[in-house]
């Protein structure tokens, strides 16, 4: 028993050390950002209407894309979790494509379907909606690169729901739609919320796809990049620190809400 306990203690010590390395790798750059930024420069960033506007643009466009596409992604996730059909593996593979392709290529792909010559571009113009250089285009670019996170998380959540509960409800006379809203969705909501948070965060941080679709108006990542290339690290750092702080506060709050419920 003593030998087993000693082996476990040694293994835990090794794993703690190894696990601490990637944790330190994440913390160190973030800590360096905060330590390199003075309160004065951070105050200037907070007082800058340009910086505040870019952060707000990133927040609401990513949220808009997440909410809009969730009405489509969640039903697809349910089908992938519950139904077996031909080419299902192909569909799962296609869903992950936006994650693995270069972000600039993702932007070009989105740009190709929103130009004035495209069906979506022409349809948008009929309703007075312009995509290129417009928040509508930013929403599509953000959603394209981030929607796999919601689909995959929701699919895993639905797959974890015991199928027998749904079948029992159906045998008792409940309609498939009622079963979905009263059993499947409530039991999978934690995974769906996690996917929702990941999609929002991924879209909010997107740079490559967004800059191709809409350099202006500038989201926070584009503004930070422009400040860095034009004026250097010292000028870009406060805006980056402010954006990171806002993101951290929002996602910590969302995680707390998710855990409490």
- Output the pLDDT for position 2: 53
Q: What residues in the chain have per-residue pLDDT under 70?
A: 1-8, 257-261
- The CATH superfamily holding the domain 58-214 is MetI-like (1.10.3720.10)
d(CA 192, CA 159): 12
Cβ pair 229, 38 in contact under 8 A: no
Other CB atoms within 10 A of residue 235 CB:
16
Rounded (5°) CA angle 195-22-243: 55
- Output the pLDDT for position 123: 86
Instruction: Give the distance between the most distant pair of CA atoms in the chain.
Output: 77
- Output the pLDDT for position 38: 86
Task: Please state the pTM of the whole predicted model.
Answer: 0.88
Rounded (5°) CA angle 64-248-12: 125
Cβ pair 213, 107 in contact under 8 A: yes
Of all residues in the chain, what percent carry a pLDDT higher than 70? 95
- Output the pLDDT for position 3: 59
d(CA 148, CA 20): 29
Over residues 126-163, the pLDDT tens digits come to 888 888 889 999 999 999 999 999 999 999 999 999 99
Over residues 167-204, the pLDDT tens digits come to 899 898 889 899 999 999 999 998 999 899 999 999 99
- Output the pLDDT for position 159: 94
Q: Indicate if the alpha-carbon torsion angle 90, 95, 96, 98 is positive or negative.
A: positive
Other CB atoms within 10 A of residue 231 CB:
10
Cα of first residue to Cα of last residue in the chain, in angstroms, is 40
- Output the pLDDT for position 118: 84
What is the full DSSP assignment across the chain? -HHHHHHHHHHHHHHHHHHHHHHHHHHHHHHHHHHTS-HHHHHHHHH-HHHHHHHHHHHHHHHHHHHHHHHHHHHHHHHHHH---TTHHHHHHHHTHHHHS-HHHHHHHHHHHHSTTSHHHHHHHHTT---TTSHHHHHHHHHHHHHHHHHHHHHHHHHHS-HHHHHHHHHTT--HHHHIIIIIHHHHHHHHHHHHHHHHHHHHT--HHHHHH-SSSPPHHHHHHHHHHHH-HHHHHHHHHHHHHHHHHHHHHHHHHHHH-
The 3-state secondary structure of 213-233 reads: HCCCCCCHHHHHHHHHHHHCH
């Amino acid at each position: 028993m003593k030998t087993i306990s000693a082996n476990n203690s040694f293994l835990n010590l090794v794993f703690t050390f190894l696990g601490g390395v990637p944790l330190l790798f994440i913390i160190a750059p973030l800590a360096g950002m905060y330590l390199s930024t003075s309160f004065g420069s951070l105050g200037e960033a907070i007082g800058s209407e340009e910086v505040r506007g870019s952060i707000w643009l990133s927040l609401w466009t990513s949220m808009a894309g997440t909410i809009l596409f969730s009405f489509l992604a969640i039903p697809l996730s349910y089908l992938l979790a519950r139904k077996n059909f031909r080419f299902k593996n192909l569909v799962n593979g296609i869903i992950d494509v936006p994650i693995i392709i270069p972000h600039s290529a993702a932007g070009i792909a989105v740009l190709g379907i929103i130009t004035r010559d495209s069906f979506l571009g022409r349809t948008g113009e009929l309703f007075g909606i312009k995509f290129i250089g417009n928040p509508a285009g930013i929403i599509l670019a953000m959603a394209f690169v981030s929607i796999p996170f919601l689909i995959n998380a929701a699919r895993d959540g639905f797959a974890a729901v015991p199928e027998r509960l749904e079948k029992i409800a159906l045998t008792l006379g409940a309609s498939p739609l009622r079963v979905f809203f009263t059993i499947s969705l409530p039991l999978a909501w934690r995974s769906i919320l996690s996917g929702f948070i990941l999609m929002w965060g991924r879209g909010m941080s997107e740079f490559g796809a967004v800059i191709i679709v809409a350099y202006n108006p500038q989201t926070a990542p584009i503004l930070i990049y422009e400040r860095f290339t034009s004026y250097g690290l010292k000028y870009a750092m406060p805006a980056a620190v402010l954006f990171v702080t806002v993101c951290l506060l929002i996602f910590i709050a969302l995680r707390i809400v998710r855990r409490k419920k």
